[in-house]
């Protein structure tokens, strides 16, 4: 297949493009800067027509781009950036793909679009599946609008699958990279109560699930990309210390008010509690290589 990828320089995109190439696919990276290589095409996620990237001959698109949710304090302007970089970019890209599908005989047939378990918000640790409603907070509203923005592609007949990913555990970025430095000193604290449920997935399983959804012709709609065994924040911290052969001090914790003071609204990323079940992925026949946190950390950290 010829597959266009946005956000290809990120945690998922870097691993995914390498893997798709190893699978024998031709990858075209949609980049926001001037292209440096023959496999790159410039796109502008803010332009109403997504900069109309030349997507001729593309079979599928994996759309991962978005401003990092944990990269900056959530000021009013950064919240607007988190939202616009997802909702506007997806709407514009979906429109381009829809036009291509309608006008070109060799138009795209599949859109695999990043989304997040932020859809569910804080459920107090309750189990949720793809049938559960969206939550109420800022991220839930962004995710709901982000998924809805892909509608033009589905209406044009593309198969659209939304990746409701949990915390992706890859040492090259995201939450694990941030936790690793204090954990290496045996000094990673629990966040708030430590009982909040964190739904996670290994980077290898995230990539495997995206490849599975790319090639499973019946897969459309939302898919929870979360391992079947979510853990509490305390369990995650203990497992990480154990994987690094460091002592674990369960009494070491940052109280919720201190986190809120330090991180502002972004602290919700660490305190939200939701047990997200990968119902549709499992039903479709996907098998997790790392169903437990110890297996995932062992694979990632060696």
Share of the chain residues as helix, strand and coil, in percent rounded to the nearest 5: 40, 20, 40
Rg (CA), the chain: 19
Binding track over 34-73 against ligand NAP, x by CB under 6 A? -----------x------------------xxxxxx----
- For ligand NAP, the closer of residues 107 and 176 by Cβ is 176
Count interface residues toward ligand NAP (CB under 6 A). 27
By the rule CB under 6 A, 20 interacts with ligand NAP: no
Q: Could you give the string, one character per residue 175-214, with x where binding to ligand NAP holds by CB under 6 A and - elsewhere?
A: x---------------------------------------
**Torsion angle, alpha carbons of 47, 50, 51, 54, to 10:** -170
Applying CB under 6 A, among 3, 4, 12, 270 the residue interacting with ligand NAP is: 12
Residue with the closest Cβ to ligand NAP? 10
The answer to whether 122 and 274 are in contact (CB under 8 A) is yes
Quick one: angle between helices 293-301 and 233-243, nearest 10? 40
Candidate segments 7-15, 186-194, 212-220, 240-248, binder of ligand NAP by CB under 6 A: 7-15
| Nearest to ligand NAP of 85, 140 (CB atom) | 85
Burial letters for 137-163: b for 16+ Cβ neighbours within 10 Å, e otherwise?
A: ebbbbbbbbbbebbebbeebebbbbbb
Q: What angle do CA 118, 123, 129 make, to 5 degrees?
A: 70
Residue 79 · residue 67 · CB < 8 Å? no
Q: Which is nearer to ligand NAP, 68 or 189 (CB)?
A: 68
Min separation Cβ 283 and ligand NAP, Å = 21
The nearer residue to ligand NAP, 35 or 133, going by C-beta atoms, is 35
Q: What is the contact mask toward ligand NAP in residues 126 to 165, using x (rule: CB under 6 A)?
A: ---------------------------------------x
226/232 with CB nearer ligand NAP: 226
User: What does the per-residue mask of binding to ligand NAP show for 74-93, with x meaning CB under 6 A?
Assistant: -------x---x---x----
**Burial track 5-36 (b if 16+ CB lie within 10 A, e otherwise):** bbbbebbbbbbbbebbeeeebebbbbbeeeee
> Taking a C-beta distance cutoff of 8 angstroms, is the pair 190, 254 a contact?
yes
The site for ligand NAP (CB under 6 A) is made up of 7-13, 31-32, 45, 64-69, 81, 85, 89, 114, 116, 165, 167-168, 173-175
């Amino acid at each position: 297949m010829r597959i266009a990828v946005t956000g290809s320089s990120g945690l998922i995109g870097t691993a995914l493009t390498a893997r798709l190439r190893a699978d024998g696919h031709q990858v075209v990276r949609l980049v926001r800067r001037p292209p440096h290589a023959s496999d790159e095409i410039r796109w502008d996620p803010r332009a109403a027509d997504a900069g109309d990237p030349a997507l001729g001959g593309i079979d599928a698109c994996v759309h991962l781009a978005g401003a990092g949710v944990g990269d900056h304090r959530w000021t009013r302007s950064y919240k607007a950036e988190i939202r616009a970089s997802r909702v506007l970019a997806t709407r514009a890209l979906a429109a381009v793909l829809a036009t291509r599908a309608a006008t070109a005989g060799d138009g795209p047939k599949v859109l695999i679009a990043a989304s997040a378990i932020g859809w569910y918000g804080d459920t107090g640790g309750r189990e949720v599946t793809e049938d559960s409603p969206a939550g109420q907070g800022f991220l839930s509203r962004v995710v709901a609008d982000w998924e809805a923005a892909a509608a033009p592609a589905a209406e044009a007949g593309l198969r659209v699958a939304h990746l409701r990913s949990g915390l992706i555990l890859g040492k090259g970025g995201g939450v694990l990279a941030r936790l690793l430095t204090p954990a290496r000193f045996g000094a990673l604290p629990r966040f708030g109560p430590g009982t909040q449920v964190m739904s996670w997935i290994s980077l290898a399983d995230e990539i495997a699930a995206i490849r599975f959804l790319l090639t499973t012709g019946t897969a459309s709609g939302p898919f929870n990309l979360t391992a079947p065994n979510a853990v509490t924040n305390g369990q995650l911290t203990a497992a990480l210390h154990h994987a690094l052969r460091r002592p674990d001090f369960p009494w070491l914790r940052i109280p919720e008010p201190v986190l809120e003071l330090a991180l502002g609204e972004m602290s919700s990323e660490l305190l939200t509690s939701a047990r997200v079940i990968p119902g549709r992925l499992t039903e479709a026949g996907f098998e997790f290589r790392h169903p437990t946190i110890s297996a995932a950390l062992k694979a990632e950290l060696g």
